[in-house]
Amino acid sequence: MNRNVIWGLIGGATAIVAGAAALAAPPPGNAVKGKAVFARCAVCHRIDPVVAGGIGPNLAGVYGRPAGQRAGYAYSPAMRAAHIKWDEATLSRFLAGPGKMVPGTKMMATPVTDAQDRADVIAFLKTVGGGAK
Ligand code: HEC
């Protein structure tokens, strides 16, 4: 094996280790960028606590709340029975595949495949408190 091959192997192994670390720890979110990502959600979700309407529930104050609890919104039976508390980990899993995490959910949204986009939009959701419990 010549030196270049050896360095190539070391470089590849380092990349694999870095990739594993990225999987284990979600990237920190940026709320400003997350507001832009939220444009994808705003088709269906209101975020201002006093603005009614939307195909989906108003998401003001959703961070830290149990799933399916916004007063006045007709959730699917699946979401009402999900027993999830919305935090970084659960929101990230849900946004990556709504129907995979909550089979039978009526959230028919395109999954947010990019982990950084998910972290950013979650950081944005955290900044928007208020709304009904
Ligand atoms: C096509 C419409 C649509 C889009 C786009 C959409 N959602 Fe939803 N979302 C829904 C519906 C409908 C529900 C209610 C699901 C149920 O009851 O099963 C929901 C539920 C949720 C919930 C659970 C709320 C609760 O009170 O438990 C969260 C969190 C959520 N959506 C976040 C998002 C985020 C963040 C985005 C953007 C990345 C997004 N959604 C995009 C329609 C949508």
Averaged pLDDT of the chain: 86
Distance 25 CA to ligand 1 centre (A): 24
Which residue's entry shows tokens 């192994």? 13
Distance 133 CA to ligand 1 centre (A): 16
| 3-state DSSP assignment of residue 51 | coil
User: E-assigned strands of 11-103?
Assistant: none
Higher-confidence residue of 99 and 16: namely 99
Specify the fold of 27-127.
Cytochrome Bc1 Complex; Chain D, domain 2 (1.10.760)
Which residue's entry shows tokens 């070391």? 10
**CB under 6 Å to ligand 1: residues?**
40-41, 43-45, 55-57, 59, 62, 67-68, 70, 75-76, 78-79, 86, 91, 95, 105-109, 112, 121
Domain segments of the chain: what residues? 27-127
SS3 for 49-69 is: CCCCCCCCCCCCCCCCCECCC
Which of 33, 37, 45, 100 has most ligand 1 atoms within 8 Å of its beta carbon, as the pocket-test mutant? 45
pLDDT by residue (tens digit) across 27-63?
899 999 999 999 999 999 999 988 888 999 999 999 9
pTM of the model: 0.84
Ligand 1 atom nearest to 91, measured from its CA? 29
Residue 11 scores a pLDDT above 70: no
What are the distances in angstroms from CA 73 to CA 23, 54, 80, 98, 132?
34, 10, 11, 18, 10
Q: How far, rounded to the nearest angstrom, does the alpha carbon of residue 14 sit from its chain's CA centroid? A: 28
